[in-house]
Amino acid sequence: MPSKADTRAEAARLQAIFEEAGALPVETTILQPADTLLDLYGEDIRARAYVTSDPLNGEQMLRPDFTVPVVQMHMSDGAEPARYTYSGEVFRRQEDGRGRANEYIQVGYEVFDRENPAAADAEVFALISQALGPLKLRAATGDIGLLMDAVRGLSTTERRKAALMRHIWRPRRFRALLERFGGRSPVPPSRTALLANPDPMAEAQPLIGKRGAGEIAARIEALREDAAEPPISATEVDLLEDMLKIRMKSVDALSHLRDLAVDMPSIGPAIERMDARCEALVARGVAVEELDFEASYGRTSMEYYDGFVFGFYAEARPDLPPVATGGRYDALTRVLGRGRSIPAVGGVIRPGLVLSLMEGGQ
């Protein structure tokens, strides 16, 4: 395992590459206000972060990553266009028993530029790829925006589409909802009995927890309204499932997606963005014909990604997490910019993993 001193030296080397590319070095505090992340992701973030509090500052989180504070900083007083780099510790709770580190160093590169998003995607990916070149890692790419556009285009209620959008980053829950909305999974008998009861609150037990009687009644009414809606068509469900199974080279994926777009026109803009990104990657010297594309990739990463996503992996070391990850997060700038927004994309490298692979002869 690399020493902390060696890891910091490798982090400095990587950060120098980003500075040479035009990035301004920035720093963020290790303790971050918890309310921002809780507002963005809800209580789910608690399972992945270390939370503390004090009487003066309220709830605080040990920095789970750099992107949110860097976006806050840029949206407060950043110039346009802008490129930033940073280096420091991040903290993630690990409860899956795989022995992964709960504290490690990240080095990142972020681009805020509205001129040409496809070129910015290619810039970040190619720069990180070049920095990791000697390791000969496998690159995986995807596009969260593709799935978002497919969901938005479904012929169903806004409530159902909103539910699916909320669970894009929870693949099992997303699939369960899609099967339920498509009429492919049976309604639990308990729910059937609940909805058939003309006054389900009449026999309710004393309330426990934060939900009041009014909120529970509204939820029951929403379930009744949903039960009265026709299912999402089998054709649309099949098309969406077909798209989510795509795992092939980018050029082949584009061709397959264009075939799907004949019956799923809502994904047309995402396909054009992907096509432009591939052209920009080629211009950066990336062999797109060898670049893997997975339509479901990135759905278990941070939930602010809404477009291009990527990761770099050591295939000979499946026990290791990705050495580098990144993606586009345009919507996050709008949320943190209080109405102002700018296209943004970035990525991070874990220098400790880089050193581990170099020492192991990867």
Q: Are strands 138-143 and 24-25 parallel, antiparallel or unpaired?
A: unpaired
Buried b (16+ CB within 10 A) or exposed e, 73-102: bbbeebeeebbbbbbbebbbeeeeeeeeee
Alpha-carbon span 304 to 70, nearest angstrom: 13
Q: Backbone phi, then psi, for 24, in 5-degree steps?
A: -90, 125
What pLDDT sits at residue 338?
A: 81
Largest CA distance in the chain: 69
Domain contains 196: yes
Alpha-carbon span 218 to 142, nearest angstrom: 37
Q: What SS3 state is found at 16?
A: helix
What's the distance, CA 352 to chain centroid?
Answer: 23
What pLDDT sits at residue 200?
A: 64
Domain that holds residue 196: 157-232
Domain contains 169: yes
Asked whether the beta carbons of 354 and 86 are under 8 A apart, the reply is: no
> What are the pLDDT tens digits along the chain (362 aa)?
788 999 999 999 999 999 999 999 999 999 988 888 877 776 677 777 888 888 888 889 899 889 999 999 999 888 889 999 999 999 988 766 566 788 999 999 999 999 999 999 999 999 999 999 889 899 999 999 999 999 999 999 999 999 999 999 889 999 999 999 998 877 667 666 666 666 665 565 555 455 556 666 666 666 666 667 899 999 999 999 999 999 999 999 999 999 999 999 999 999 999 999 999 999 999 999 999 999 999 987 778 899 999 999 999 888 899 999 999 999 999 989 887 899 999 999 999 999 999 987 55
Domain contains 315: no
Domain contains 324: no
Alpha-carbon span 92 to 104, nearest angstrom: 9
Domain contains 296: no
Rg (CA), the chain: 22
Domain contains 126: no
Query: CA nearest 282: which of 311, 250, 305?
Result: 250
Amino acid residing at 37: L
Domain contains 135: no
Q: What total of structural domains would you count in the chain?
A: 1
Domain contains 173: yes
Query: CA nearest 129: which of 349, 359, 294?
Result: 349
